[in-house]
Homo-oligomer: A and B are copies of this chain.
Amino acid sequence: MSIDQLARDFTKAVAEDNAEVYQSYWADDIVSLEPMPDSPMARVEGREALLQKHAWWNENAEVHDTTTEGPFVFGDQFAVNYSMDVTMDGERSQMSEVGLYTVKDGKIAEERFFYGQAGS
């Protein structure tokens, strides 16, 4: 499968919250990175740990709306833009981030989330 096709299938499954499909693209040793140096979420490694991260998110975040744009492809990487209207700890906010995915041997070996910066 070409990376274009993989990227489209994965992004569609994420947009539809079709976990069975998008998780089928994870490598067993997938690494998931967030720019939160002091958090246990900074680096999550392996399918089991990533499933736990997702479970944590589903328990702690109430997602009112989400939009997905992309994928955008370069070489063995693709980017997806996410916007989310979410309530966490009783606080509702609009988040946006870019997910950067690295593909190896037809599976997603790494995902890395870039956070939006407040205006200058």
Q: Which residues of B contact A28 (CB under 8 A)?
A: none
Closest to A7 in B: B117
- Give the distance to chain B from A75, nearest Cβ to Cβ, in Å: 7
The reply to whether B4 and A117 contact each other, CB–CB distance below 8 Å, is: yes
The reply to whether B8 and A70 contact each other, CB–CB distance below 8 Å, is: no
The reply to whether A114 and B73 contact each other, CB–CB distance below 8 Å, is: yes
Number of copies of chain A assembled together:
2
Main secondary structure of the interface of A (DSSP, over half): strand
Contacts A8-B120, A35-B74, A78-B117 known; list 15 others, CB within 8 Å. A8-B117, A8-B119, A9-B120, A70-B98, A72-B96, A72-B97, A72-B98, A72-B115, A74-B100, A74-B112, A74-B114, A74-B115, A79-B114, A81-B81, A100-B100
- Give the distance to chain B from A97, nearest Cβ to Cβ, in Å: 6
Taken together as a complex, chains A and B put the C-alpha atoms of A96 and B119 apart, in Å, by 21
Contact of A113 with B by CB under 8 A? yes
Q: Which residues of B contact A35 (CB under 8 A)?
A: 73-75
Taken together as a complex, chains A and B put the C-alpha atoms of A70 and B74 apart, in Å, by 19
